[in-house]
Amino acid sequence: MASRLKTRSVIRFRGPDTIKFLQGLVTNDVRKFGEAIGEKTSTLTTPNVSTVSETPIYAAMLTPQGRFLYDLFIYRPSRSYEKLDKTGSKPGSNPTDDPFDLLADVDATVTDELMDCFHKFRLRSNVDIENLSEEFSCWQRFGKNLSTSSDSKEEPEASALGWGAGVDKAGQSSTKGNTSGWQWYKDPRLDSLGFRGIFPSNTIPPLVEANKETDELNYLQWRVEKGVAEGSTEIPKGEAIPLEYNLAGLNAISFDKGCYVGQESVARTHHRGVIRKRLLPLKFLNKSGDEVEQKVAPGSEVVGVSSDKKVGTVTTALGSRGMGLLRLEEAFKGSGSLSLKGQDNVKIEVIRPDWWPSEWFPDH
């Protein structure tokens, strides 16, 4: 399945100071985008897929106190000299003809606010920041058939092309990118989330057939079931502590990149090694153990059945599933131990995420 993510927008950073500018603002290390050679993604030079490519990174911007503000997926677009020109008959342009660009996939509800924030920090940096939401769209491919780990350099469907023992390299290339070099990348957070990409708004990405495009709510359901929040609504802006929302486990934080806004608080919490609350996937049940839908709203308080003491809060609810920020010690006490405050008929079942490292669980 694939969804056009209408809740996300695209902004572009252009200029020689782009790397230095972002490096001091976001939680992840963007210096790899300035390196000359990326990951080898193709052995066949074509107009649509470059021979080398850098995988995107997931990152966040924080307040000086280390609270979450915005999340970003940062991409380095294909350079024209890394692939053939649009005719497919000759190499692309000279490297010096290309300006240095990075694209970011950001929360559409806060795009203007985020742009203002970047402009405030820009000062004398030689970098232009532009909203490209009309020209480009964000897409996500996901589903059970994409959830298993595979070679990061190949798409499962693209690598299946061929006849007998042979492989159709040209066909494989065309399934990964369009004629201008826009292509799918493995989601930098988790393999099980599938593939993500930025594509021109007037085109349908490769590998997206009519019967595969689905509503974005299905992608939200896919994330919720895995306990992965996204954007400044699901991760409360100005309030959320990044490590409690599992951003380290989602590859959004580099602990050896050096200084950035909010870094001191994040590093101190990380090195103490004590995180008592985390975001968890939830299932909402009635007293008979059957799933109940539309009975829970974000902000609902989760309490212990026996103690009636607060364990946490539901942050996202969708049908019979949701996510909540809960105290780990009480969250994993066992089935039937949690309910909603004021709604004794709704029980909360905590799902153990299969992507969590063992040391995150209280029984470790």
% of the chain at pLDDT higher than 90:
64
- Provide the pLDDT for residue 210: 73
The single-letter DSSP state of residue 143 is S
303 beta partners: 310, 339
Q: Give the highest mean pLDDT range of 29-38, 163-172, 201-210.
A: 201-210
| pLDDT value of position 54 | 80
* pTM above threshold 0.85: yes
At residue 150, the pLDDT reads: 47
Residue 334 has a pLDDT of 72
Mean of the pLDDT values across residues 238-256? 97
- pLDDT exceeds cutoff 50 at 174: yes
Predicted local distance difference test score (pLDDT) of residue 175: 60
What domains are there in the chain, each with its CATH number?
Answer: 2-147+174-250 (3.30.1360.120), 276-360 (2.40.30)
Residue 149 pLDDT grade (very low, low, confident, very high; cuts 50, 70, 90): very low
At 209 the pLDDT is 81
CB atoms < 10 A from the CB of 339, how many? 21
Look at residue 358 and give its three-state secondary structure: helix
Mean pLDDT, the chain, rounded, equals 86
What does the pLDDT look like over 32-86, one tens digit per residue? 998 765 555 554 555 566 656 688 999 999 999 999 999 999 999 877 666 666 6
CA distances from 23 to 104, 197, 246, 258 (A): 14, 22, 21, 9
